Amino acid sequence: MNAKTKAKPISRAALSGEADPRLVALSVSIQDDGALYEEDIRGSQAHVSMLAAQGIVPKAAARRIVAALDQVCDEFAAGKIAFDPSLEDVHTHVERRLGELVGKDAGYLHAGRSRNDQVALDERLFIVRGCDRCDGALVRLMQALLAQAKAHEKTLLPGYTHLQRAQPVSLAHHLLAYVEMLGRDRERFAEVRRRAAVSPLGSGALAGTTLPLDRERTARALGLAGVTQNSLDAVSDRDSAIELSFACALASVHLSRLGEEVVLWTTREFGFMTLDDAFATGSSLMPQKKNSDVAELSRGRAARAIGDLVSLLAMVKNLPLAYNRDLQEDKRPLLDGPRALVLTLDALAGAVETATFHAEVMRAALGDGEALATDAAEYLVEKGVPFREAHEAVGKAAAFSTRAGRPLARLTAAEWASFHPRFGADVLRRFDPAESLRRRELPGAPGPKQVKAQLARWSKALRGGR
């Protein structure tokens, strides 16, 4: 440690001597919370301006502090602030540098404030911004999915259950399923943002302050919608961090599902999809390899996001009111969430945008009528046959088709009639997948009219985007 760090740390006024280096090593958090410098500085500027307006500190000192804090912000951005473990966290690093720039006047800043309400504010400002960043990236992936969906309105493939070919859908319908998920994610981030956007400043260490602060004024200056209503809760509440983390975890889980399908679809076995080389990776050993790491990392990242959420929940569990130092441990999972999610969303957006889908392979996977067995059963239902009876008749036909080695679509009208007397020759027309989709026009179904309406709805919702 150099000579400068020997100055008594701000928070050791009542303690003798210096902290043991082993305690310092455990306590330091600047390596994580240094990322919050901008939020911390904006919060301090709003706070000291309010103090001046309330006549608590001299106006000239407040002006000097605000200007110097702008400089500290630039220095942080340029990586010019050297981290000093004995200064612990971002708050004390900012305050110490401010002291170097404006001298004694820097001491006016912290009136009516504690690092407890300060860090709670910094996090709320970070969460608000994090929600906006995630929302923007969600929109970018949704637009990429939507563009491919528009290009593949008529591309047919089997929809799967149990990863077994089930019934025909269009690729547009399949891709729009992800757009729906991500649309819900956007709603979730908007909710998280709304609840986070209140100011805890003025809660002090836990019991407010005797100074006549104007809490609403500080909140307004920071673009926040209001102020927290219980000081004990305000300094120890991490709900918004947990909610952000949950929103990130669930969005990541959605991306892991998309990632899994990209992994499957880009295999030789499936062959539904090819990634652009710019979004594919090679092997250091096997020269022929083209890997879908982008999709695998999307799956893997979800593990990290789930872990972050669990860390935050476990950290708050059983904590007595109000602030406890355990809460410092929230930085890594909190800060990691939006960062990792945005990176994943953007990489996937690029991969989806530039991917090629192989319509003919998908069409072939539909087989020759297997995916339309349910349609044949519904044909009988339309003729007044109870569904269970229809199901059994078509089941027999399917078993016969397997035994005879002839696909369902190749059975003759006479053969169909042998499985149920209500089968007429027109049943043969039910074995066209495009025709099958045209009959599926309930709201939310994969019928072409429905899909067209959904494409229009999402185009409108995402217009302008971000």
* Binding footprint of ligand ARG on the chain (CB under 6 A): 29, 33, 89, 115-116, 119, 323, 325, 327-328
Cα–Cα separations (whole angstroms), residue 277 to 46, 260, 271, 292, 295:
49, 19, 16, 10, 14
Identity of the residue, 89 or 243, whose beta carbon is nearer to ligand ARG in the bound complex? 89
Q: Which is nearer to ligand ARG, 96 or 115 (CB)?
A: 115
Nearer to ligand ARG, 115 or 304 (CB): 115
Q: State how far the Cα of 198 lies from the Cα of 222, in Å rounded to an integer.
A: 9
Q: Could you tell me which residues are beta bridge partners of residue 157?
A: 169
DSSP bridge pairs for 158: 168
Residue 162 annotated in active site:
yes
Looking at the Cβ atoms of 208 and 300, the one nearer to ligand ARG is 208
Work out how close the CB of 46 gets to ligand ARG at its nearest, in angstroms, rounded to a whole number. Answer: 18
Q: Least distance (Å) from ligand ARG to the CB of residue 29?
A: 5
Which of 224, 7, 25 shows the shortest CA–CA distance to 120? 224
Angle at 267 between CA 148 and CA 374, to 5 degrees: 70
Q: How far is the CB of 348 from ligand ARG (least distance, A)?
A: 32
Nearer to ligand ARG, 33 or 243 (CB): 33
CB of 35 to ligand ARG, least distance (A): 12
Question: Please, what is the minimum distance in Å from the beta carbon of residue 333 to ligand ARG?
Answer: 13
The active-site residue out of 162, 311, 401, 459 is: 162
d(CA 395, CA 452): 33
Nearest distance, CB of residue 119 and ligand ARG, angstroms: 4
Residue of 231, 252, 254, 283 marked catalytic: 283
- CA-CA distance, 265 to 145, in Å (whole number)? 15
Would you call 232 exposed, middle or buried from its count of C-beta atoms within 10 A (0-12, 13-18, 19+)?
middle
Q: Which is nearer to ligand ARG, 89 or 378 (CB)?
A: 89
What residues act catalytically? 162, 283
